[in-house]
């Protein structure tokens, strides 16, 4: 899994919706009470959450930390690294917001989406992915709606780098072009949910043709990620403004 699990709360928040009831209960407690989690021994933590000690240990292993001590160590480093700045509870823009409020919320959305999304990236997989871009015969970006805007921007960034790229944001053109895929092509799909039928079908076609696939999604257990050779996770909610920043965060960092 192409995820940096050292960013404990961002990672757990990202996978919360895909967890079972008991695991979600543990993850939610960690998100709500991180300061207590790093202090409590496993017995006390189990009592507070209302589960067994073994269940907590299994949860830590299941989400990739190996054990409670590893999770607590990463969480403690994360808490110590935080500053005293408090952020608004929501970046949503309302009718009664002032111009300054709107500007601040837009800036906050860009900053938060980039920081948290990059925080989910396992840096060890960056170089191999970059090499795929450089060696590909063609790079094809696919996406619909706000994800389509991200695909178009990513195409422009790669073309400015001299990497032959195209982007498809409608089903007809995408199907037509992907039918001519070669094994040395690279297909990159943007989908916040990872469940957009047209994008999932594009990856199925790419898989049949032997092309390398990179998915950029919010959900780690989505159908798109199951088909991808590699996937990168995005943080936060999809929306008319947020979605574009979340899906473009990796490619802004990649480009610069």
Residue 231 sits in which domain range?
A: 123-255
Instruction: Please enumerate in sequence order all residues whose Cβ is within 8 A of that of 125, keeping only pairs 6 or more positions apart, or say none.
Output: 2, 230
In this predicted model, what pLDDT tens digit does every residue of 67-122 receive, in sequence order?
A: 888 888 888 888 877 653 344 445 567 777 778 777 777 776 676 666 667 777 77
| Rounded Cα gap, residues 249 and 117, in angstroms | 7
Asked if residue 101 is part of any domain, the answer here is no
Q: Are residues 65 and 149 in the same domain?
A: no
pLDDT of the residue at 14: 87
Rg (CA), the chain: 20
Looking at the structure, tell me whether residues 250 and 140 fall in a common domain: yes
Chain position carrying tokens 């390398």: 212
Last residue of a domain, one of 49, 81, 113: 81
End residue of a domain, out of 81, 112, 139: 81
13-25 confidence digits (pLDDT tens): 988 888 999 999 9
217 and 151, same structural domain? yes
User: Quick one: which of 196, 183, 246 has its CA closest to 225?
Assistant: 196
What digits encode the pLDDT tens for the residues 167-214? 999 988 988 999 999 999 999 999 988 999 999 999 999 999 999 999
Of 48, 66, 81, the residue that ends a domain is: 81
CATH of the domain at 75: 1.10.10.10
pLDDT at 107: 72
Q: Structure pTM?
A: 0.64
Per-residue pLDDT, 103: 78
Give the CATH number for residue 133.
3.40.50.10490
pLDDT tens readout for residues 205-235: 999 999 999 999 887 788 999 999 999 887 6
50, 160: one domain: no
Q: Say what the pLDDT of residue 122 is.
A: 75
Number of structural domains, the chain? 2
Q: Report pLDDT digits (tens) over 101-115.
A: 777 777 766 766 666
Q: Select the more confidently predicted residue: 110 or 57.
A: 57
Give the separation between CA 109 and CA 71, rounded to whole angstroms: 28
Residue 169 lies in a domain: yes
């Amino acid at each position: 899994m192409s995820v940096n699990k050292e960013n404990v709360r961002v990672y757990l928040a990202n996978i919360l919706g895909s967890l079972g009831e008991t695991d979600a209960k543990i993850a939610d407690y960690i998100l709500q009470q991180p300061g207590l989690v790093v202090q409590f021994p496993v017995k006390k933590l189990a009592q507070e959450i209302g589960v067994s000690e073994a269940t907590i240990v299994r949860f830590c292993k299941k989400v990739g930390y190996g054990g409670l001590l590893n999770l607590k160590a990463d969480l403690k480093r994360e808490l110590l690294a935080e500053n005293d700045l408090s952020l608004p509870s929501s970046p949503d823009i309302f009718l009664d917001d002032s111009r300054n409020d709107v500007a601040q919320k837009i800036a906050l959305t860009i900053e938060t989406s980039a920081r948290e999304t990059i925080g989910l990236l396992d840096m060890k997989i960056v170089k191999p992915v970059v090499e795929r871009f450089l060696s590909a015969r063609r790079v094809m970006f696919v996406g619909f709606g706000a994800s389509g805007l991200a695909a178009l921007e990513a195409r422009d960034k790669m073309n400015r780098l001299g990497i032959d790229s195209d982007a498809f944001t409608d089903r007809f053109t995408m199907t037509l072009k992907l039918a001519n895929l070669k094994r040395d092509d690279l297909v990159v799909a943007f989908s916040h949910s990872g469940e957009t039928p047209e994008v999932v079908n594009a990856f199925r076609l790419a898989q049949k043709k032997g092309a390398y696939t990179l998915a950029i999604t919010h959900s780690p257990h989505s159908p798109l990620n199951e088909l991808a050779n590699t996937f990168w996770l995005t943080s936060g909610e999809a929306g008319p403004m947020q979605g574009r920043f979340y899906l473009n965060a990796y490619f802004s960092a990649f480009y610069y």
